[in-house]
Structure 1
């Protein structure tokens, strides 16, 4: 058995996986990883990327550059131009990121689901009663980024970003094993609530959720990095007009984005729980 297969077999054991990725000093390990990943030393970089390959299906063939300064530089890599075109149909809201499709469906009043049978509330996720009303009985899609994926995320449609709210929290792993075991996990972790509005006036909200080793979210349109060290206001008003497919920012490792819309949106036919989707591919369809 190869080393990769052995590691994969071990991490498929739910109890062991949960122990290794959660019953550890999560915040301290995340801070250490943030420092370590930025070390610009060839031996550290090469050994780290080699180790990363052992634990994942990391493929760097689509990366814009062949050499990286650090592990962080590799995590946040750009892709070669033209590899993630957005669906040109103006009625289509596209996936903001490469991801595995998690739970999705109709919001039941103000309740949505992280896995089947495990609900959580919009208010606990968003912390804003007015925004909850905009998405009551609406639609949600959960997009999970694995560690080896392209970590940058993009505008799902032409829209104006009106406000970002940063909510401090924990750094639980967000893999399916943890989602089954930790109630309302997305509401416990650090996250950014990105409120946007389409030209029609309809609301579109993105919630990038940080996780262990990840707890930094870079947003270009505010020129800030949000993490546990963020000081000052937690609410950032803005008026940033973005086009479908425009890069909004990145995670510093794999994590999750929750997409929220009103109830008039319809799911596209390609959505299947557990399926992979690329940034720019159809996600939801606008009414009319």
Structure 2
């Protein structure tokens, strides 16, 4: 285990996150300017792809960190039965779920039921497939739909706030099943599917279009929803560091692209792979942008 990962176990993670959250939300002109400028310089952030192209246009560091793309900055791949990346970032791992286990890093696996914080859901995804995308600090930090579906449930799971970079993933057992996370469950043409938004060190919050910003508690929070989302629609966003895990059932018969391997860079909307499931001819194709979130579904 490295010194970096060892030290993380002694850092007061939740307290550090709260302090960072208050500073990141500050609209004080000096605080936000120092944070935004320092961060942009440290991580070489440019605004060419973003709607607001001046650092002065952002009301707080959080506003800057969750900055929105230009409408034409990303293309949502239109391959039939295609599964696209939910975010800009790097493929951490992807592949098949074997013996209820997902690959975290070389030599390390973790249980899908623990990731979802529900053993019944975990059993459903046995022998399914997964893709894990790590969002670096410089990346676009909104998460989008990798497939079309209806959001039926969210499950907030309190936990640790370890870093989710490759070094930590290689050294901390069950990392993604130990960290704070928000499990989003969907009904899709493949059956049930999930997108898990995993928090990390100094993460100041997780938000979805259905829930708003999640209020942290010491207990698991579940909420029911009925929100239709097209492939590529925004699902949620992170306030500082993050990882998104896409989980598909065995029935989807997902076949990942040959160029989608660990450490491959991806952009939101880029094709990760394709489902070879035979879909009934009468099934409505919801990939088209014909469904939008309803305001009355919001919960806080």
TM-score by length of 1: 0.88
Contact 1:214 1:255 in 2 (8 A): yes
Per-residue CA deviation, residues 123-142 of structure 1 (Å, 9 max, x unaligned), is 21112122112210111111
> 1:182/1:167 Cα in 2 relative to 1: closer, same or farther (>3 Å)?
same
Q: How many residues align?
A: 272
Please name the residue that 2:283 is paired with. none
- What are the residue-to-residue correspondences of 1:32-47 with 2, within 5 Å? 32-47=19-34
Is it true that 1:59 corresponds to 2:50 in the alignment?
no
- What are the residue-to-residue correspondences of 1:20-169 with 2, within 5 Å? 23-65=10-52, 66=54, 67-169=57-159
Question: Any unmatched runs of 5+ in structure 1?
Answer: 1-13
> 1:128/1:216 Cα in 2 relative to 1: closer, same or farther (>3 Å)?
same
Please name the residue that 1:4 is paired with. none
Please name the residue that 1:260 is paired with. 247
> 1:24/1:205 Cα in 2 relative to 1: closer, same or farther (>3 Å)?
same
| TM-fit CA distance, 1:215 | 4.4
2:266 to 261, 277, 280: 277
Cα distance in 1 for residues equivalent to 2:168 and 2:24: 24
Contact 1:171 1:215 in 2 (8 A): no
Contact 2:20 2:204 in 1 (8 A): no
Cα distance in 2 for residues equivalent to 1:82 and 1:286: 26
Contact 1:210 1:217 in 2 (8 A): yes
Contact 1:267 1:284 in 2 (8 A): yes
Contact 2:207 2:213 in 1 (8 A): yes
Please name the residue that 1:7 is paired with. none
3-state secondary structure, aligned to 2:25: coil
3-state secondary structure, aligned to 1:37: helix
Cα distance in 1 for residues equivalent to 2:85 and 2:16: 30
Cα distance in 1 for residues equivalent to 2:147 and 2:174: 28
Cα distance in 2 for residues equivalent to 1:156 and 1:180: 26
Contact 2:114 2:122 in 1 (8 A): no
Per-residue CA deviation, residues 38-88 of structure 1 (Å, 9 max, x unaligned), is 111222122112221343232222221122111111011001111122111
Cα distance in 2 for residues equivalent to 1:181 and 1:154: 29
Is it true that 1:221 corresponds to 2:210 in the alignment?
yes
Is it true that 1:247 corresponds to 2:238 in the alignment?
no
Please name the residue that 1:234 is paired with. 221
> 1:202/1:268 Cα in 2 relative to 1: closer, same or farther (>3 Å)?
farther
Cα distance in 2 for residues equivalent to 1:265 and 1:201: 10
Cα distance in 2 for residues equivalent to 1:185 and 1:209: 10
What is the alpha-carbon root mean square deviation over aligned residues?
Answer: 2.0
Per-residue CA deviation, residues 207-256 of structure 1 (Å, 9 max, x unaligned), is 1101111141111123x21242588x711111111111111110011210
Cα distance in 1 for residues equivalent to 2:263 and 2:78: 25
- What are the residue-to-residue correspondences of 1:160-199 with 2, within 5 Å? 160-198=150-188
